[in-house]
Structure 1
Amino acid sequence: MSASILIIVSICAFFLAYLTYGAFLAKKLGLDPTKQTPAHSRRDGVDYIPARAPVLLGHHFASIAGAAPIIGPVTAAAFGWVPVALWIIFGGIFIGAVHDFTSLVASVRHGGRSIGEIINDNVGPTGKRLFGIFAWLTLVLIIAVFAIVIANTFVAVPAAASASTLFMIIAIIFGFTIYRGNASLAVSSIVGVALLIVAIWLGNMFPLALSFNIWVVVLFIYAFVASVTPVWILLQPRDYLNSFLLYGMIAGALVGLLISNPTIQLPAYTGFKTGLGYLFPVLFVTVACGAISGFHSLVASGTTAKQLDKETDARVIGYGGMLIECVLATIAIITAAVLLQDNYVEAMKSGGPVALFSAGVGGFLTKLGLSQQVGTSFAALVVSAFALTTLDTATRLARFIFQEFFTEVKQDSQDAVSSAKGGVLSNMFVGTGISVFLGALLALSGEWNKIWPIFGSANQLLAALALLAVSVWLARMGKDNSFTKYPMVFMFLVTLSALGITIMQTLNAGNYLLMIIAVLLFILAVVLAYLANVALKDAASGQNTIGA
């Protein structure tokens, strides 16, 4: 089969889904362009600030599309390319994009607060506390791991460190130009992208070589500063400009792929059980970003909801942004699928999924006149740039969740927060400092290795809980929630099955720390599902119904 057919069919499916199912969801959610969003009603110049749709899409897309939509599909190709492609297409359209879109809208309707606060309002304070602890610990783990990944990348490729540093300087200038100089977004974008290209060239000319430990310290200092700095100064403009690198890589790979028109060589299906485990549930926790990822709900309800200018922008940013990531995931599976089985296995052993993907994209870019080396290096640089985006976004999200956990919020209506009280632990600097300190401790001690294997299940549990929160919220307003409820049930089945298998495997292997964590996550999922079921029954019987 031609790889061109797969990518064309996928893109057509995503485009039609946006026009039809995306419009259906927008109608069900009752998006109102005249309704004031938290970016306006709670504008504080730090976290809450309205952003134009293209800028916010760039920020949101850069935050959710790190290395995961590449690593997951390439790794899961061990099951064959057909199961992976089907999960990306159907999972992305009917579960992942719905999850991102509805999480964003639900957060906007709750004053730009997180999924944990939505659970608090619709399920109860116990649910909020359990979710808050779980989500914060997951983010601390992400912070630790991505700091290590980036530090290793900077040590191995000093040019990437120089380019990334220059990217930040360009982003700050861009932010002041747009928000303080009222410059044209189109003109500033063209100049900004041109400067990014110059930064890549200068990075190769003047590589910045530091030791691993120094980079780890520098990265955590950067993460702290980025988390408390007004979003318009660094985070938003840097993510927006960086998104053009990813757009460019995707576009170049697509054109090169269509020109080269490679044949899919990998087996369509290798069997229900492989070296990775059983197809169900392993496929569905391995391919997270690119199909559905709980981390996206934290981004949507953490940073994106606080910057949404109009409710109607949520469709292109939440639903559309996820579908663009699905395109990236489809390209990723194609880079593996065009290899023979033996070559795929060898590539995974020698370089891993990111190296395989970078080499594959580099091959497609040769059709545009670039050398294999330049194309591969460009793809690797783009991936590392978005790993850095994930680091600072995760730190900011950890700060939000930490603050909310120790803050009492009083809400007069579904849409307006009237007052909030909290002690010293609700201070942004304290929340950021504790999150960064524990992340650094985990990174430098090497203890993250012991718990990282369970991250896939934890991430998909986040997705199930986000869908749970939205489902209860919709039910309590008397609205149809079938489009979130059934995906929620599926994700709970996936998560509980994966955790059950992990418990048995770790028990047999004597890895008791991982087993205990898996058991705790299993209990957490069951307790929250029970609380949600009670809330859903109350809503069905007409008790405690909230007006729209």
Structure 2
Amino acid sequence: MDALLLMLVVFIGYIIAYNVYGKYVGYKIFELATGKPVPSKVYEDGIDFVPTKKEIIFGHHYTSIAGTGPIVGPAIAVIWGWLPAILWVFFGSILMGAVHDFGALIISMRNKGKSISEFAGKYISKRTKYLFFAIVFLELWIVIAIFGLVIAIIFNMFPQSVFPVWMEIPIAMTLGYLVYKKGKSVGILSIIALILMYITIIIGVYMPFKLGSVAGIPATGVWTIILLIYAFIASVLPVTMLLQPRDYINSHELLVAIALLIFGIVASAFTGKLSIVAPTYQAHPPQAPPLWPFLFITIACGAISGFHSLVSSGTSSKQVADEPDALFVGFGSMLMEGVLATLVIIAVVAGIGMGYFHNGKLLTGHAAWLTHYSSWTAAKGLGSKLSAFINGSANMIESLGIPVSWAIAIMGVFVASFAGTTLDTATRIQRYVVSEIFSDMGLTVFKNRYVATLFAVLSAAFLAFATGASGKGALTLWPLFGAVNQTLAGLALIVITIYLRYKGGLKWIVAGIPAVFMIAVTLWASILNEINFIHKGNYLLIVVNTVILIIVLTIIFEGVKTFFSIKEGTPEPIDEEAKA
């Protein structure tokens, strides 16, 4: 019953937080107002700028920010105990993540749908804009290169997910065609699409597909090539053709997965099969880094993640149809991600104790958990983190009478679908970033979406295959990603703080305190990483991390200087374009 009680307390807390703190931030701090001009309507082009119902854009936004993040982070962070993990997810998502995501979204909407890098230059300085672009490009570069590999690993672990994941594309495109071209009702059609999706999942259980090597290229490399080609195509198509309908299906798939997990937890708890078997707090797990500051780097999505600011100011700000919708999309999505992270935590600290096979032997209770989490090294791999969540979830879902094989397939497709969304959303955002920065430099050819997307994909392919045909090249920079991602969150909060500083009063505090906290813990983690890289003699990571630290410290200096230069009544800066 302890797992069930934990779930109920957290969920009730999120409902209260959205209706009290969320609406306070939205209407009192950011002064949302209906009827204001928004980029989706002012610049409507049918490709990127498309006014969209808030329920549909919520589906896109949520599935884009989630990916595998709220799964893999909590699934390893529980090694420090379930209590630190759940506290960071709950309070982090409300006080930091939701403010961060919503703030980036609404500021972008009030700045022509531009990226956070662009309006960082407006509110801080032009030099900051280019430094911000460097951090953003690096983050997206790694994300695009690594997510092809991530999906390849998921396909290898769960071959039953391959067929349904690829079949979702024609299902989604048919849905988009019927809704946007034929004017059919999205409600009924989305339910039909979801039913078709689950039929393909059942087919996938009986038709698993495992790809072998092709022309000497390992399966991971082949999948990475296929997925990068897909990302190019998906990212140049109009959002109404694939992105919106697929993500709308994914959002329904999320609701089904969450419902199965919730009912599975209830059923397992009332039958006495479910209880928390992980330690409440474990200060020094074997081989693990210190909880402070690494808990706050390890759990990103689910609490706060810099990548979210790129989605908010990249794709979502170009589709929200009315300012008040931004609260549901930005603030609401972050809390829903906290809901998912909470369910992940329960799956890996309680669900795994219902049954865990190790060396052909079935283990239960604390022994099951301890075997999987015997050390940081044993539990930190992507496969280990995903298997802990999926197997724990399948155990709980089985309590509803659903066969384990079906439950594993449902959760495997759920994870792979979200990873695919993150891949092509990141590619589309990188296209915006490349187009903005090179256009500023006078290279107008990059305003062409095909040219900019090709650059994004080819640069990611270069990184992916830098170390060979396996497509694992991005792993060389992966040790930097956690700190870079969370540093970006801190920097985004600085921009939001300065934006609110221009609005007068003490409104800036809602973003300012989270900004100070995130900058402190991420710089701390980056410095510890630098020491570790030096001890290991990893010169590539030493150099790249040093450059990142210099860039970040410069942005912080510029931000602090700007903050204290703003006096009461100082007018908001004017766009460079407006000046011209």
Query: Is the shorter-chain TM-score for this pair beyond 0.5, marking a shared fold?
Result: yes
Q: Deviations over 1:181-203 (max 9, x none)?
A: 11112111111111211222343
Alpha-carbon distance in structure 2 between the residues aligned to 1:450 and 1:93: 33
Alpha-carbon distance in structure 1 between the residues aligned to 2:346 and 2:160: 28
Match of 2:196 in 1: 195
Alpha-carbon distance in structure 2 between the residues aligned to 1:227 and 1:198: 27
Of the three residues 227, 240, 250, the one matched with 1:242 is 250
Residues 364 and 156 of structure 1, relative CA distance in 2, 3 Å threshold:
closer
Q: What secondary structure sits across from 2:517 in the alignment?
A: helix
Task: Write the mapping of 1:47-66 to structure 2, written as runs, cut at 5 A.
Answer: 47-66=48-67
Alpha-carbon distance in structure 2 between the residues aligned to 1:308 and 1:237: 15
Q: Does the 8 A contact of 2:161 with 2:409 survive in 1?
A: no
User: Is 1:224 the equivalent of 2:232?
Assistant: yes
Q: More deviation in 269-278 or 104-113?
A: 269-278
Match of 1:499 in 2: 526
Alpha-carbon distance in structure 2 between the residues aligned to 1:529 and 1:142: 24
Match of 1:532 in 2: 559
TM normalised by structure 2 equals 0.89
Q: More deviation in 24-33 or 205-214?
A: 205-214
Residue 100 (structure 1) shift: 0.8
Alpha-carbon distance in structure 2 between the residues aligned to 1:6 and 1:75: 19
Q: Does the 8 A contact of 1:363 with 1:376 survive in 2?
A: no
The one-letter amino acid paired with 1:290 is G
Match of 1:437 in 2: 458
Match of 1:7 in 2: 7
Q: Does the 8 A contact of 1:467 with 1:485 survive in 2?
A: yes
Residues 35 and 422 of structure 1, relative CA distance in 2, 3 Å threshold:
farther
Alpha-carbon distance in structure 1 between the residues aligned to 2:183 and 2:73: 41
Q: Does the 8 A contact of 1:144 with 1:442 survive in 2?
A: yes
Match of 2:105 in 1: 104
Q: More deviation in 471-480 or 119-128?
A: 471-480
Match of 2:578 in 1: none
For these two proteins, the number of residue pairs brought into alignment is 537
Of the three residues 362, 369, 378, the one matched with 1:344 is 369
Alpha-carbon distance in structure 2 between the residues aligned to 1:438 and 1:542: 45
Q: Does the 8 A contact of 2:86 with 2:345 survive in 1?
A: yes
The one-letter amino acid paired with 1:321 is S
Task: Write the mapping of 1:177-196 to structure 2, written as runs, cut at 5 A.
Answer: 177-196=178-197
Residues 93 and 436 of structure 1, relative CA distance in 2, 3 Å threshold:
same
Q: What secondary structure sits across from 1:407 in the alignment?
A: helix
Residue 426 (structure 1) shift: 3.1
Alpha-carbon distance in structure 2 between the residues aligned to 1:7 and 1:156: 29
Alpha-carbon distance in structure 1 between the residues aligned to 2:20 and 2:136: 33
Q: What secondary structure sits across from 1:277 in the alignment?
A: coil
Of the three residues 499, 518, 535, the one matched with 1:473 is 499
Alpha-carbon distance in structure 2 between the residues aligned to 1:24 and 1:120: 28
Match of 2:216 in 1: none
Q: What secondary structure sits across from 2:304 in the alignment?
A: coil
Q: Does the 8 A contact of 2:109 with 2:318 survive in 1?
A: yes
Of the three residues 327, 334, 337, the one matched with 1:322 is 334
Q: Does the 8 A contact of 1:260 with 1:364 survive in 2?
A: yes
Match of 2:389 in 1: 357
Of the three residues 421, 426, 429, the one matched with 1:394 is 426
Match of 1:72 in 2: 73
The one-letter amino acid paired with 1:297 is S
Q: Does the 8 A contact of 2:160 with 2:409 survive in 1?
A: no
Match of 1:406 in 2: 438
The one-letter amino acid paired with 1:514 is L
Residue 204 (structure 1) shift: 3.9
Alpha-carbon distance in structure 2 between the residues aligned to 1:70 and 1:173: 30
The one-letter amino acid paired with 1:225 is I
Alpha-carbon distance in structure 2 between the residues aligned to 1:544 and 1:29: 16
Q: Deviations over 1:355-409 (max 9, x none)?
A: 1110111111112210222212211221111111111111111111111112349
Q: Does the 8 A contact of 1:499 with 1:522 survive in 2?
A: yes
Residues 258 and 155 of structure 1, relative CA distance in 2, 3 Å threshold:
closer
The one-letter amino acid paired with 2:371 is E
Alpha-carbon distance in structure 1 between the residues aligned to 2:71 and 2:260: 16
Residue 547 (structure 1) shift: 8.9
Q: What secondary structure sits across from 1:406 in the alignment?
A: helix
Query: Alignment RMSD, CA only?
Result: 1.9
Q: Does the 8 A contact of 1:499 with 1:518 survive in 2?
A: yes
The one-letter amino acid paired with 1:93 is I
Residue 90 (structure 1) shift: 0.6
User: Is 1:301 the equivalent of 2:326?
Assistant: no
Of the three residues 280, 305, 311, the one matched with 1:268 is 280
Q: Does the 8 A contact of 1:56 with 1:304 survive in 2?
A: yes
Residues 422 and 196 of structure 1, relative CA distance in 2, 3 Å threshold:
same
User: Is 1:448 the equivalent of 2:474?
Assistant: yes
Match of 1:17 in 2: 17
Match of 1:423 in 2: 444
Q: Does the 8 A contact of 1:477 with 1:547 survive in 2?
A: no
Q: Does the 8 A contact of 1:460 with 1:491 survive in 2?
A: yes
Residue 544 (structure 1) shift: 5.3
Match of 1:412 in 2: none
Residues 38 and 422 of structure 1, relative CA distance in 2, 3 Å threshold:
farther
Q: Deviations over 1:469-525 (max 9, x none)?
A: 111112123352110011000000011000010011111111121122222222122
Q: More deviation in 332-341 or 297-306?
A: 332-341
Q: Does the 8 A contact of 2:205 with 2:405 survive in 1?
A: no
Q: Does the 8 A contact of 1:78 with 1:274 survive in 2?
A: no
Alpha-carbon distance in structure 2 between the residues aligned to 1:153 and 1:202: 18
Alpha-carbon distance in structure 1 between the residues aligned to 2:409 and 2:89: 26
